[in-house]
Amino acid sequence: MRRRGEYTTLRAAFAKRCEGDAFRLLHYSVQHDHVHMIVEAGDRAAVARALQGLLTSIAKRLNCIWRRRGTVFADRYHDRLLRTPREVRNAIVYVLNNARKHGSGQKTLDLFASGPWFDGWREGVRIRGGERLERPVGFCRTWLLRIGWRRHGLIGISEVPGGQRRAGSLRPRPLAVVLPTSASSESRTFI
């Protein structure tokens, strides 16, 4: 899926469905055979419904490009609730810089991720022509994703996921993130 035609199709599907009341796609990374996402949602059911619609839309579009029919994505995904600023920062690094983890050898911004729309880079980032592209990610509404993670420092473009882990810290996995709505102050973990 890391080819120009496929990625353009994915990005268009993300832009169409990224901002809703019950589900917001905030960060993503497209790999050759899977996608990583960070989302805000009211509960696990909202994530399941939104992902089902998004993945169906993407599958139809990709099948059209590939001139085929059938299943594109597996019937499963992994999700995890992020509770702390450190977990959120680690997850953002994991998602936006995931190509480095897979040994891409890339030294610049991954253009198959939502990095061009991310405002938390340590280095100044300016993408030429980016202003003409429809924004494929929503705006963060929760404190953890807007402000909280920044307590642990901005993210470097060349930072490798898991490369500078501290003892005892959790290593992020491929995930969709479920965050509680303002109606519920209690957090629940879904693994």
* Domains present along the chain, CATH in parentheses: 4-152 (3.30.70)
pTM for this predicted structure: 0.80
Report CA torsion sign: 116, 122, 128, 131: positive
C-alpha to C-alpha distance for 174 and 101, rounded to whole angstroms? 12
Task: Average the pLDDT over 14-28 and give the result.
Answer: 89
Q: What are phi and psi of 39, to 5 degrees?
A: -130, 160
Tokens at 12, concatenated: 């268009």
Task: Average the pLDDT over 85-111 and give the result.
Answer: 84
Is residue 30 within 8 A of residue 112, CB to CB? The reply is yes
Q: Which residue has the higher pLDDT, 53 or 164?
A: 53
Tokens at 152, concatenated: 């642990």
Going by the DSSP 8-state scheme, the letter that residue 135 receives in this structure is P
Q: What is the pLDDT of residues 124-181, one digit of tens each?
A: 877 666 567 788 999 999 999 999 999 999 999 888 887 644 434 433 333 343 332 2
| Residue 184, pLDDT score | 35
**Strand stretches in 4-109, DSSP E:** 23-30, 35-41
Tokens at 43, concatenated: 């509960």
> Which range is least confidently modeled, 12-16, 26-30, 69-73, 137-141?
69-73
Q: Which amino acid is at 180?
A: P
Only one residue has tokens 């807007």, namely: 146
| Residue 89, pLDDT score | 96
C-alpha to C-alpha distance for 104 and 114, rounded to whole angstroms? 17
